[in-house]
Amino acid sequence: MSPGVDDDDSAEPVANHHDPMPTGAHALLSPATLHAINPLELRARMVADALFAGGHRSRRFGSSAEFAEHKPYAPGDDLRRLDWKVMARQNRSYIRRTEDETRTDVIVVVDTSMSMAYAGGARGGLSTSKLEVARTLAAAIAYVCQHRADAAGLSLFAGEERAHLPPRGKSDALTQVCTALLNTAADGKTALEPALQRVCERLKRKAVVVVISDFIDCGGAALAALGVLRKRGGDAIVLQVLHEDEVDFPFDGVVKFEDLEGQREVQVDAPLVRDAYLEELRRFLDEVEGACGHNDARYALCRTDRSPVQALASALTGLGGESALSAGP
């Protein structure tokens, strides 16, 4: 339930003492500053560069038949790939690997349902919408893929899939992702579960699936397909985007709330329902995060009033080791 649907770009950043960015980067990468910047590709580059700051640039290779690296021979490897020159020099067996064999496919699944249009209003003005934050997150991930020569794909959904870009390692993949993101406005109801099933059914090789949604009206039960993905050797990342109004409930007086994905309206005395709302919110967040844990997916909460760098850094590296998309060494 949300008290407004307009999509504006003037948020006030909230300090985050756990943010891994240098102090001076807070002002530069605040939501208000980021979403005043066009085009989306530049925003993505700024966020991705902050992720890379302080880390080594790991080797990733794009799609091509050119030589990329050697790997020690293991039983089952194709003997036609043996490098006989290296064997003659070192008396050891190595397999030649091409760039395509080391590439990671990454599919970003973005919720574009009407609830993602919410841009606040509790503090007397509109701010950054959830969809704008989702666009920045998705574009930044695509930029990371381009930087590491991985292949970025995109699936935009609401009640049904609205756009699909298969993973591509080409130089124009980022531009295509950004164009699709900008050409899709928030509309319709959420149907995450069939969207994820469709994405995972298309996969022909191990991949990383990144889900960006507020999970309103679908909850954590919709993530079951990610558990199947993980069992097949893929990786899964979940970024839950919520507006600061939804997290803090800073409303005063009598407020009318509208259901952006339905016809419901309710008028409440905000101070009287605040505690009950916050308790329900905690259960909701625990449900989504718990579903991620059950399906072995990495999880991060992304508030619209904070820089996306912290949430991305947390999700891409994870507590249990480096992800295929990690910007670190």
Task: Give me the domains of the chain, ranges plus CATH numbers.
Answer: 25-59+103-317 (3.40.50.410), 74-99 (no CATH)
Residue 83: CB partners within 8 Å, gap ≥ 6? 70, 94, 95, 96
Determine the average pLDDT of the residues in 246-263. Answer: 84
What is the per-residue pLDDT for 38?
A: 67
**Residues of the chain with pLDDT > 90: what percent?**
43
What is the per-residue pLDDT for 183?
A: 94
Is the pLDDT score of 99 beyond 60?
no
Least confident window among 27-31, 139-143, 275-279: 27-31
Determine the average pLDDT of the residues in 157-172. Answer: 90
